[in-house]
Structure 1
Amino acid sequence: MKKVLFTLIILFSLNNFAQNTPEKELGVWYMYNGSHQISNKFSLKTMAHFRFFEIGDDMQQFIGRLGANYKINNNMSATLGYSYLNTDGTFGFDGGNINEHRIYEDFNLKHKINALGFAHRLRAEQRFFNSETGHFLRYQIALNYPLDNKWSTYLYNETFLDFNGEAFNQNWLGAGLKYKLSKVVKLQAGYQRISVNNGGDFNRIQLGIAISTDHRKKAKI
């Protein structure tokens, strides 16, 4: 009964997002996320996102990310990484595409209450583009609930603070489903509502694949 109730909450949230879409077109993010264990304490985090204004058309942004993660204990870890972004110049900028470089530092904490998993991430970002530098602080809380051995649901919220402009920059609220294809591969489908400080709202479908490998032994996908 609890699993059915949690699934209904997720589906109700997604339905509300879709009904309140202020944009004429619905955007989509195609996402790859990777975790590659290289020792008992260290792993590499990889990511590539292709973000579109519309489904399959008019790309808004490409972002690639690489980070080194250190496991403090079973519940805490820290990450230091680099991101590269190429953003359509019509999205908040004038002129051609914007190339941006970021350095980021994460502190990650996870815990459980019964079967409900909690994940907290505090991220500091230093952004460099067009000879300008930005400093951001981001906090994300994510919930994950298993429906069975293959399926799980998730819900998250992430708030961005900008130290160079207005304190509040934007907020991401999302929910969806994950499917465990194998020990290595998981698939994801969800919905995200982006609210920015100028009052604008953006709605995005998220379609993703996550790959987790352990290089301490031969992994098979």
Structure 2
Amino acid sequence: MKHTIAIAFVILASVSTLSAQKTETTWFASFNTIGLNKRFSIHFDGQWRSGDHYSKMLTLLLRPGLNYKISDKLTVTAGYGLISGRRTISGISGYAPEHRIWQQAVYTHPLLNSSLAHRFRLEQRFISKSSVSAEQLVNDGNIYANRFRYFFRTVLPFRSVKGFSKGTFGAIQNEIMFNIGNNSGVNGRSFDQNRAYAAFGYRFGKKFDLEAGYMNQYIQGRGTAFTNNHVIQLATYTRL
């Protein structure tokens, strides 16, 4: 556990020391899995993200999907995502939708007294084209883009027990994202962003976790522009 925490600290420190436009936001997230039978389950996560300095809503994300369990170690999912994001053009602000179709595979294997999950996700993104008309933000048409995301996460119980079902834990995760194919409609680069995260939480039982943590989100913009976003996240995990 000490080695894993040290690795996470290096990731967080290396990203946060870069010079960038700095923002401070809060994310509230709910991740849910609802079992249907031995093979199929429903995935749903919803997220509310604030603007800089914890101002009004910046992003609302709703993402349902259908899981299929191939084995105890491998689950595949396909789903849809609706993302409403706040944009500002020439001083005029409003919300623009992004529609996503996504597919993923999650592979999990044992790690120490816990496990490590690897998630590989593909996204087909339909991003609204926004402009200003009559002093209002107008969305007309879409920009199409593809993105690949790799994510790993581990939950480390503070007590060494087999079959951890209740108690305090630490969580460590990282996600890196790359644009695939024509990236002119996004930032014009292959690299999109990285999210490094560490948290403390409490498992109330096999069905529910609550955690709070810090995320460093490094976002590559166009040209040499980039943003270093400091995120405080509160998240729940439900398994029904």
TM over 0.5: yes
Q: Secondary structure at the match of 2:87?
A: coil
Residue number among 112, 116, 119 corresponding to 2:117 in the alignment:
119
CA 1:169/1:7 → structure 2, altered by over 3 Å: closer, same or farther?
closer
CA 1:152/1:169 → structure 2, altered by over 3 Å: closer, same or farther?
same
The percentage of aligned residue pairs carrying the same residue is: 25
Amino acid at match of 1:110: T
Q: Secondary structure at the match of 1:77?
A: strand
Residue number among 93, 117, 136 corresponding to 2:147 in the alignment:
136
Determine the structure 2 residue equivalent to 1:188.
211
CA contact (8 A) 1:62 1:86 kept: yes
Residue number among 191, 194, 201 corresponding to 1:168 in the alignment:
191
**In 1: Cα distance, 2:21 partner to 2:50 partner:** 13
**In 2: Cα distance, 1:10 partner to 1:206 partner:** 20
**In 2: Cα distance, 1:177 partner to 1:96 partner:** 35
Determine the structure 2 residue equivalent to 1:158.
175
Shift, 1:212, TM fit: 1.3
Give the TM-score normalised by the residue count of structure 2: 0.77
Tell me if 1:145 matches 2:146. Answer: no
Determine the structure 1 residue equivalent to 2:50.
52
Output one character per residue of 1:45-97: Cα deviation in whole Å (capped at 9) or x when no partner.
11110001246532110000100000000000100001001000139x97531
Amino acid at match of 2:168: W
Higher strand share: 2
Output one character per residue of 1:106-146: Cα deviation in whole Å (capped at 9) or x when no partner.
01100013214211000000011222111001111222211
Output one character per residue of 1:132-171: Cα deviation in whole Å (capped at 9) or x when no partner.
1110011112222111341111111111110222111111
- Specify the structure having the higher radius of gyration (Cα): 2
List alignment gaps of at least 5 residues for structure 1.
214-221
Output one character per residue of 1:6-45: Cα deviation in whole Å (capped at 9) or x when no partner.
697499679959x859666521101111110110000001
Amino acid at match of 1:143: T
Question: What is the correspondence of 1:100-119 to structure 2 with a 5 Å cutoff?
Answer: 100-119=98-117
CA 1:210/1:162 → structure 2, altered by over 3 Å: closer, same or farther?
same
Residue number among 173, 197, 203 corresponding to 2:230 in the alignment:
203
CA 1:178/1:123 → structure 2, altered by over 3 Å: closer, same or farther?
same
Determine the structure 2 residue equivalent to 1:26.
24
List alignment gaps of at least 5 residues for structure 2.
129-141, 160-165, 184-188
**In 1: Cα distance, 2:177 partner to 2:233 partner:** 19
CA contact (8 A) 1:10 1:176 kept: no
Give the TM-score normalised by the residue count of structure 1: 0.83
User: Which has the higher mean CA deviation after the structures are superposed, 49-58 or 135-144?
Assistant: 49-58
Q: CA RMSD in A?
A: 2.8
